[in-house]
Amino acid sequence: MKPASFTYVRAVTLDEVLRKLQQWGEEAKVLAGGQSLMPLLNMRLAQPRYIIDVNGLPEMTGVDWSPETQTLTVGALTRHRELLQHPLIEAHAPLLSEAARYVGHLAIRSRGTLGGSVAHADPAAELPLVLTALGGTLIIQSVEGEHSLPIGDFFLGYYMTTLRPDELITAVKIPGLASNSGYAIAEFSRRQGDFALASAAAVVTVDERGTITTAQCAAGGVAPNAITCPTVNESLRGARNPEDFSQAAHQLENFIDPPDDVQASGDYRRHLAVEMMTQAIGLAYARAIGTKEAWA
> What are the residues binding other proteins (CB under 8 A)?
1-5, 43-44, 188, 190-195, 262-265, 267-268, 271-272, 275
Distances (CA, A) of 241 to 253, 274, 278: 20, 16, 11
Contacts of 105 (CB under 8 A, 6+ apart): 192, 193
First to last CA, the chain: 59
Helices 266-295 and 242-250: crossing angle, nearest 10°?
140
Instruction: Report whether 222 contacts 269 (CB < 8 A).
Output: yes
In 3-state terms, what secondary structure has residue 61? coil
Q: How far is the CB of 26 from other proteins (least distance, A)?
A: 19
Angle subtended at Cα 104 by Cα 95 and Cα 76, rounded to the nearest 5 degrees: 60
Q: How far is the CB of 264 from other proteins (least distance, A)?
A: 5
Which of residues 104 and 176 has its CB atom nearest to other proteins in the complex? 104
Which of residues 1 and 294 has its CB atom nearest to other proteins in the complex? 1
Q: How far is the CB of 291 from other proteins (least distance, A)?
A: 26
Which of residues 51 and 272 has its CB atom nearest to other proteins in the complex? 272
Q: How far is the CB of 188 from other proteins (least distance, A)?
A: 5
Angle subtended at Cα 247 by Cα 243 and Cα 250, rounded to the nearest 5 degrees: 140
Q: What is the CA radius of gyration of the chain?
A: 19
Which of residues 118 and 274 has its CB atom nearest to other proteins in the complex? 274
Q: How far is the CB of 275 from other proteins (least distance, A)?
A: 5
Which of residues 54 and 280 has its CB atom nearest to other proteins in the complex? 280
